[in-house]
Amino acid sequence: MKIAVCIKQVPTREWQPRLNDAKTWIREQDAAFEMNEPDAYALEESLRLREKHSGEVVVCAAGPARIQQVLREALARGADRAIHVEDDRLAAADASVTADALAAAMADEKFDLVLTGLQSDDQGHAQTGVILAERLGIPHSTIVMEVQISGSDLRIKRELEGGWFQWIAMPLPALLTVQSGINQLRYATLKGIMAAKKKEIKKVAMPAGLQAAQEIVSLALPTRSKQTRLIDGSPAQAAQDLLKRLREEARVL
Amino acid sequence: MILVIAEQRQGVLNRASSEAIAAAQALGGGLPIKVAVLGESVGGVAQELARTDVAEVLVAAHGALGTYTPDAFTMAAQSIIAATTPAFVVLAHTYQARDFAPMLAARLKTALVTDVIGITGSGASATFTRPMFQGKLVATVRPKPNGPCIVTFQIGSFRADAVRMGSGAPVTKIDVTIDAGAIRQKPEAPFQEAKQAVDLGQAERIVAVGRGIKSQEHLPLVQKLAAAMGAEMAASRPICDNGWLPMERQVGSSGQTVAPKLYVALGISGAIQHLVGMKGSRTIVAINKDRDAPIFEVADYGIVGDLFEIVPALITELEKR
């Protein structure tokens, strides 16, 4: 079973946003990066499927040179090899360009299954996986919480809203976008980190002439929809003040 | 023309689709609006939609649309778009739209702007605002459509009760071409994992906890605060993913939507998926060490600080009574 897992490198959760001078993207030099969380769950799921059904896990990503960090991390956690579509313009690319870049690098590999996170914690389009499926000409499902494979039959549990789920069967090859929490993540071992150094990262150029479907005109800090009353003081003072306001102003206690 | 694709399940209109109609009316720019509803038997929903101020309600009734699949819905939407040539296709950013709208955009090789929270300008010159970086930033984006521009609106970004009502729009059947052999997904019936023992939707007060609690062993602290406030305990997604609290206590787009009198968010950063589940609460309190956390955007009262210092102080103070 040949499994691809598509991952993205995004700013860490602790990152405090700062914008470039044109206010069209972030100041990347200030940001620390990590693996997009839903993609980490997709990687874990692909490793578990390989353990059950044997085969190969190939981690695929499209981005500038800095994304090598998350590719190495994926290899250290157990992926067999990596494909890196490298281009600086991919750092802020939209879902359409990212999917096109990945599709061009992945088409000849003829993967049986492609996994990726349901959305990225940076631009958050929640589109790349589905567009990629379409470009590869394979069926898809999204927001997946469980994966079962027997022979060439795939059966997955899809999350619906409000605590509902649904099982869906489809033929392989297929693409699934994975929901966070589908499994328990493993961390890289020292042995894994050492082994990753010898694993191949194949670099691929971005195809020429990819067209973005949208452009970022500007980025800004969100404006507050509500006036938040911030309460200062020591923990004891703040607690006292807050409870007084909840009782007397808001009347909710 | 703006085409709204409404969502229904078993003959019940998704409330978010009314919000999508309100968004389409705001996008307007003189463009007429048509609402399409897809399904096997959706006459009742069509009549409900016809009461809104739109030019026409299109009913795409087909056996292959009875149970949702992305393949069938994409083919049906393609048929409707080919027949009506809209400038915009508008949907609510539901799990269903997330499943098929990108496929539709890919098939049509056109632009899809998702999770939109605001519109600037109208008609063809419109730009859209949408959250990025987990809501830490808001982007203004300009679509570059090649054909219809597809837009999905975040749930709650437009109000369903803001929909302009009309004098009865005509309801028309529209033929859709669906190649049943090209539907690759075989869905089974939707189900709920477990009977929900707690109905957070009925709780007057909720104390919710997020990543800031750091480990499961700190949960009794939160429980104690909830008890002292007469509140139910809830959590953001990562806490339930870790199995620290059961899924039925999860608030957010994949859990329950709540609107209590008082919602206290402890160590919850406020990712959009969480905010959509609780921002309708009457009074929101946020306690978080990161003063830039998006949760403060919806909070009425905020304390920037360490929850491990503030929560014990709150419990002490509450127990004085």
pLDDT beyond 80 at A191: yes
Interface of B with A in 190-249 (CB under 8 A): 190-193, 196, 205, 229, 237-238, 240-242, 247-248
The predicted model gives A125-141 an average pLDDT of: 98
Find out whether B222 and A209 touch, Cβ atoms under 8 Å.
no
Q: Which of B294, B312, B318 sits opposite A222 (nearest CB)?
A: B294
Question: Which B residues, 247 through 276, put their C-beta within 8 Å of a C-beta on chain A?
Answer: 247-248, 253-257, 261-262, 269, 272
Task: Write b or e for each residue in A66-102: b if 16 or more Cβ atoms lie within 10 A of its Cβ, otherwise e.
Answer: ebbebbbbbbbbbbbebbbbbbeebbbbbbbbbbbbb
Q: What is the pLDDT confidence band of residue B194, given thresholds at 50, 70 and 90? A: low
Q: B108 is written with which tokens?
A: 């049509």
Distant-in-sequence, close-in-space partners of A67: CB < 8 Å, separation ≥ 6: A8, A9, A33, A61, A84
For B265, phi then psi, to 5°, come to -105, 115
Q: pLDDT of B311-321, one tens digit each?
A: 999 999 999 87
Q: Where are the alpha helices (DSSP H) in B28-69?
A: 43-49
Q: How far is CA A203 from the centre of its chain?
A: 20
Q: Say whether the peptide bond before residue B238 is cis (omega within 30 degrees of 0).
A: no
User: Would the pLDDT of B269 be above 90?
Assistant: yes
Q: What angle do CA B206, B13, B249 make, to 5 degrees?
A: 20
pTM: 0.88
Residues in chain A: 253
Contacts of residue B255 in chain A, CB cutoff 8 Å?
Answer: 162-163
Chain A positions touching B316 (Cβ under 8 A) are: 236, 239
pLDDT band, residue B225 (cuts 50/70/90): very high
Tell me the average pLDDT across A10-15.
92
A:100-159 residues touching chain B, CB 8 A cutoff: 118, 121-127, 129-131, 133-135, 139-143, 159
Task: Measure CB to CB from residue B111 to each of A213, A216, A228 and give the nearest one.
Answer: A213
pLDDT (mean) for B166-187: 96
- CB–CB of B187 and A219 under 8 A? no
How large is the average pLDDT for residues A53-71?
98
Mean pLDDT of B189-217: 87
The domains located in chain B, with CATH, are 2-182 (3.40.50.620), 200-319 (3.40.50.1220)
Average the pLDDT over each of A76-85, B154-163, B311-320 and give the range with the smallest value: B154-163
Task: Give the pLDDT of residue A97.
Answer: 98
Please check whether residue A185 touches B, CB under 8 A: no
Contacts of B127 in chain A (CB under 8 A): 217
- CA of B277: which chain A residue's CA is closest? A162
Q: Determine the longest span between alpha carbons in chain B, in angstroms.
A: 69
Mutate to test the interface with B, among A168, A182, A221, A241 (most CBs of B within 10 A): A168
Q: For residue range B286-315, what is the model confidence (pLDDT) as tens digits? A: 999 999 899 999 999 999 999 999 999 999
- Cβ neighbours of residue A123 under 8 Å, at least 6 residues apart? A92, A94, A95, B132, B139
pLDDT bracket for residue B195 (50, 70, 90): low
Residue A13 has pLDDT above 90, yes or no: no
What is the SS3 assignment for A44-69?
HHHHHHHHHHCCEEEEEEEECHHHHH
The nearest alpha carbon in chain B to A11 belongs to: B133
Of residues A162 and A137, more confidence is placed in A137
Distance CA B168, CA B145 (A): 32
The shortest C-alpha distance from A235 to chain B (Å) reads 5
B54 Cβ contact list (under 8 Å, min separation 6): B4, B21, B32, B33, B34, B35, B166, B169
**E-only strand ranges, chain B:** 2-6, 8-9, 12-13, 33-39, 56-61, 88-92, 112-116, 118-120, 127-132, 137-143, 149-153, 171-173, 186-187, 191-192, 205-209, 232-235, 262-266, 283-288, 301-304
Residue A15 has pLDDT above 80, yes or no: yes
Using the structure block, give the residue that is written with the tokens 């529209």. Answer: B174
Using CA atoms, how far residue B125 sits from B35, B87, B251, in Å, is 22, 11, 37
How far apart are the C-alpha atoms of B231 and B250, rounded to whole Å? 15
What pLDDT is attached to residue B248? 85
Mean pLDDT, residues A106-132 taken together: 97
Nearest to A29 by CA among A64, A77, A74, A70: A64
Report CA torsion sign: B297, B302, B305, B307: negative
CA distances from B19 to B36, B252, B272 (A): 15, 18, 17
Q: Which tokens belong to A201? A: 């990262």
Nearest chain B Cα distance for residue A199, angstroms: 31
**Partner B, chain A 5-34, Cβ-Cβ below 8 Å:** 11, 13, 15-17, 19, 26
Provide, as residue numbers in chain B, all residues whose Cβ is less than 8 Å from the Cβ of A33: none
> What is the pLDDT of chain A when averaged over all its residues?
95
Q: B48-91, pLDDT tens digit by residue?
A: 999 999 999 999 999 999 999 999 999 999 999 999 999 999 99
- Check pLDDT > 70 for residue A222: yes
State what percent of residues in chain A have pLDDT above 90: 92
> Is B255's CB within 8 Å of A163's CB?
yes
Please name the member of A159, A216, A246 whose beta carbon is closest to the beta carbon of B139. Answer: A216
Q: Which residues, including other chains, have CB under 8 Å from residue B204's CB and lie 6 or more apart?
A: B230, B231, B260, B261, B262
Give the H/E segment covering residue A193. helix A190-196
- Chain A contacts of B132, Cβ < 8 Å? 122-124, 219
Q: What is the DSSP letter of A24?
A: S
Q: Is the pLDDT of residue B196 over 70?
A: no
Structure tokens, B262: 């008082």
Residue B8 pLDDT > 90, yes or no? yes
A171 to chain B, any CB pair closer than 8 A? The answer is yes
Quote the CATH superfamily of domain A2-205: HUPs (3.40.50.620)
Q: Any idea where the domains of chain A sit in the sequence?
A: 2-205, 223-253
Please give the mean pLDDT across all residues of chain B: 94
Given this model, what pLDDT does residue B4 score? 98
Instruction: Please give the pLDDT value at position B197.
Output: 63
Nearest to B317 among A223, A226, A239 (CB): A239
Q: Which amino acid is at B48?
A: E
E-strand stretches of B183-288: 186-187, 191-192, 205-209, 232-235, 262-266, 283-288
CA-to-CA distance for B275 and B297, rounded, in angstroms? 10
* Structure tokens, B52: 């809104």
Does the structure show a pLDDT above 90 at A84? yes
Q: Give A170 to chain B, closest Cα distance, Å.
A: 5
Confidence of residue B276 (pLDDT cuts 50, 70, 90): confident
Determine the Cα–Cα distance for residues B107 and B121; give it in Å rounded to an integer: 28
Report pLDDT digits (tens) over B245-259: 988 899 988 788 888
> Which pLDDT score, from 0 to 100, does residue A110 have?
97
Type of residue at B114: T
* The residue to which tokens 């409707």 are assigned: B80
B313 touches A: beta carbon within 8 Å: yes
Nearest to A101 by CA among A84, A126, A114, A113: A84
Q: Chain A partners of B145 at a C-beta cutoff of 8 Å? A: 213
